[in-house]
A and B are shown apart, each in its own frame.
Chain A
Amino acid sequence: MNDVIISVKNLEKKFDKNAVLKGVTVDINKGDVVCVIGASGSGKSTFLRCLNMLELPTGGSIMFDGADLTDKKVDLNLHRQKMGMVFQQFNLFPHMTILDNLTCAPIMLKKISKEQAEAKAKELLARVGLADRADAYPNQLSGGQKQRVAIVRALCMEPDVMLFDEPTSALDPEMVGEVLDVMRELASEGMTMVVVTHEMGFAREVSNRVLFLDDGVIAEEGSPDEIFGAPKCERLQNFLAKVL
């Protein structure tokens, strides 16, 4: 069970003089579904973006796959291939068809054949119910469809970990469900996931661990039952009172 996949130690991030992360330490185990909750400005998105070094930490270390990602000598591109990321704003490539969105990175980086990449992409697309949209362009899809494609795009690289940065925050309410369903399925298959979210229902139901970030530190950590059922720290109690 204690098969650590990402080990974060004393992670710090300052923007100029403004410290956003003030020493975050956490281990993420294989198969964990970790939800990161907290008020806006608490540093939860920054924390997630530091995990794959989209944001460069100003202190601390991130061990992933036997390497310290904050070490300048590490080939980040190689490690990022094993960490899928899903963004709030989808960030699909608008000039490519859905199929090209899904296959361009695997073909370029994993050196697999076009046929293999397309077969894999189509299989995954079918699983999220979008098999018929392979030749469409991103702008022809609804928000929920775009986000499902974005999840598939990350999955096509066969990552060990999936990072979600508020994946449902930019969606119309009626489309949140379809994206959460895909994530739920992914979790049930044993994918290791770190999810920054405002969906407390999802956090409660799907995750096995919840981190409450407040003012750049993990103020409380525990199982969903502990966090939502018996919050200990006052900030968490206040936060939950506002959002639930």
Chain B
Amino acid sequence: MNAWLDKLYKTFIVDDNYMMLIKGFGNTLLITLCALLIGIVIGSVIAIAKYYAEDNKKLKVVNTICDIYTTAIRGIPVTVLLMIFYFIIFVSDTTGIMTAIIAFGINSGAYMAELIRSGINAVDRGQMEAARSLGMSKSQAMRKVIFPQAIKNILPAIGNECIALLKETSVAGYVTVVDLTRAANLIRTNTNDAVNPLILLALVYLTLVIIMTKLLAVLEKRLRKSDGR
């Protein structure tokens, strides 16, 4: 027992190694949250644009652009996308955090777009008709009536996407970002202790995911209020 505590001390406390982990933890959260926001915004814009393009021939170009985006992004591994962004497009970003946020955000946007679109399509047609019959414009109806219901329908799927995104950010180290994974890995190389940093790393991710799942369940319960009973 004492030997293990001694090892822990050497691995995490000496040279203030734990500070690196805390910084990495912060970066992981920062990248995940910002990328998530970007993803939701891009996803919503694309889903709504495609909804409008469905019955308006003038917007066919928009539809095609959206299709190309989702196909390309979903076809390219996020690690490759990240490296392309870092080494080719945003060469001036030295820390890589901005690049990581943008790359993960754009990646997530493609998946969000498909999710949100399926959510919008699942809302009964009568809802749009009822809103229009009251005199709402198509976008007013979308904002007030369709979109809130769509989001509610797909909330579990969005939760899954958040969790996937959190875990995907563990490749941010490819572009020199010191995220949680890279921090743990640096400690492993510096201290020659593989067991403790990696187990701790796994536990931190696991805990984060469990917390996210719980938060989501609470949110879902609140939104389900209108389902009655």
| Inter-subunit contact B226/A96 (CB<8 Å) | yes
A84 interface residue (CB < 8 Å to B): yes
Residue on B nearest A54 in the bound complex, by CB: B129
B152 interface residue (CB < 8 Å to A): yes
Q: Name the segment of B136-144, B169-177, B186-194 touching the other chain.
A: B136-144
Residue ranges of B at the interface with A (Cβ–Cβ < 8 Å): 124, 126-127, 129-137, 140, 144-145, 148-149, 152, 223, 225-229
Which of chain A's residues 113-157 have a Cβ closer than 8 Å to chain B? 137-140, 150, 153-154, 157
Q: Name the segment of A57-65, A73-81, A210-218 touching the other chain.
A: A73-81
Q: How many residues of A sit at the interface, in one of the four size bands?
A: 20 to 34
| Inter-subunit contact B140/A108 (CB<8 Å) | yes
- The residue from B127, B133, B144, B149 contacting A52, defined by CB atoms under 8 A apart: B133
Q: Name the segment of A18-26, A86-94, A184-192 touching the other chain.
A: A86-94
Q: How far is the CA of A164 from the CA of B81 in the complex (A)?
A: 55
Closest 3 CB pairs of A and B: A81-B135, A139-B228, A91-B130
With A91-B126, A108-B140 as known contacts, state yes or no: A137 contacts B135, CB within 8 Å. no
* CB pairs A–B below 8 angstroms (26 shown): A54-B133, A77-B132, A77-B135, A77-B137, A78-B135, A80-B132, A81-B134, A84-B133, A85-B130, A85-B133, A87-B133, A91-B124, A91-B126, A93-B131, A94-B149, A94-B226, A95-B149, A96-B226, A97-B226, A104-B144, A105-B131, A105-B135, A108-B136, A109-B136, A137-B225, A154-B134
Q: How far is the CA of A98 from the CA of B149 in the complex (A)?
A: 16
Residue on B nearest A53 in the bound complex, by CB: B132
Residue on B nearest A110 in the bound complex, by CB: B135
Residue ranges of A at the interface with B (Cβ–Cβ < 8 Å): 52, 54, 77-81, 83-85, 87, 89, 91-97, 104-105, 108-109, 137-140, 150, 153-154, 157
| Inter-subunit contact B148/A95 (CB<8 Å) | yes
Q: Besides the contacts A54-B132, A87-B133, A139-B229, what 8 more A-B pairs have beta carbons closer than 8 Å? A: A77-B132, A80-B133, A81-B135, A85-B130, A91-B127, A94-B149, A95-B226, A108-B136
Residues of B within 8 A of A83 (CB): 133
Q: How far is the CA of A103 from the CA of B138 in the complex (A)?
A: 18
Most-contacted residue by chain A among B127, B130, B132, B149 (CB, 10 A) = B130
Q: How far is the CA of A128 from the CA of B59 in the complex (A)?
A: 45
Most-contacted residue by chain A among B137, B149, B226 (CB, 10 A) = B226
Q: How far is the CB of A142 from chain B (nearest CB, A)?
A: 11
| Inter-subunit contact B134/A153 (CB<8 Å) | yes
Residues of A within 8 A of B135 (CB): 77-81, 105, 109, 157
Q: How far is the CB of B97 from chain A (nearest CB, A)?
A: 37
| Inter-subunit contact A137/B227 (CB<8 Å) | yes
| Inter-subunit contact B152/A95 (CB<8 Å) | yes
| Inter-subunit contact A105/B134 (CB<8 Å) | yes
Residues of B within 8 A of A153 (CB): 134
Q: How far is the CB of A143 from chain B (nearest CB, A)?
A: 14
- The residue from A93, A97, A154 contacting B127, defined by CB atoms under 8 A apart: A93
Q: How far is the CA of A153 from the CA of B132 in the complex (A)?
A: 13
| Inter-subunit contact B126/A105 (CB<8 Å) | no
Residue on A nearest B134 in the bound complex, by CB: A105
